[in-house]
Amino acid sequence: MEKMKILLVDDEERFLQTTKKLLEKKGIEAMTATGGEAALDILDTSIVHVVILDVKMPGMDGIETLRLIKSRHPLVEVIMLTGHATVESAVDGLKSGATDYVMKPCDINALIEKATEAFEKRRILEEKINMASARTFMKSPRKILEEGEK
């Protein structure tokens, strides 16, 4: 089974480092980005299953980043990391396609739990997609005949 790959996006560098270490200790592969642009760059070049995205960031903020991610990489699951005062933003995020949100300050285990859930969801979705595309490849004999006639 494919291993979960997480991208952490937050403006707090130390948080990124420590959380990455913790995730790696639990055997989860994690990448980090300190801003929206950097996150998008990584998504363009690497395979990522779940993005943990801080709502409040300098420069491009979480919601904007979320929209861009969702438009370019619709299959990537995004979990919003939010402070209390930005629950509205979290709601906005959910409306814009985020899978879930986590309230700051969060417990690492809670974070992993939510990420895992999201990953599961994505895996099921991907399986469905694979099945569907496999069906398009497996054509019925009649169709092959019809095509051959042309």
* Interface contacts to other proteins, rule CB under 8 A: 12, 14-15, 18-19, 21-22, 25, 56, 83-88, 104-109
Residue matched to tokens 């879930």: 100
Give me the least distance between CB of 101 and other proteins, in Å please: 14
Q: How far is CA 56 from CA 77, 94, 116, 125, in A?
A: 18, 15, 23, 29
Q: Is 9 helix (H, G, I), strand (E, B) or coil?
A: strand
**Is residue 48 a contact partner of residue 6, using CB atoms and an 8 Å limit?**
yes
Tokens of 137: 């490849």
Judged by beta carbon, residue 7 or residue 122, the one nearer other proteins is 7
Nearer to other proteins, 23 or 122 (CB): 23
Phi, psi of 27 (to 5 degrees): 80, 25
Nearer to other proteins, 21 or 72 (CB): 21
Least separation in angstroms between CB 73 and other proteins: 26
Do the beta carbons of residue 139 and residue 117 sit within 8 Å? no
CB of 88 to other proteins, least distance (A): 8
Residue 56 or 73: which CB sits closer to other proteins?
A: 56
Q: State the nearest-atom distance from the C-beta of 99 to other proteins, in Å.
A: 20
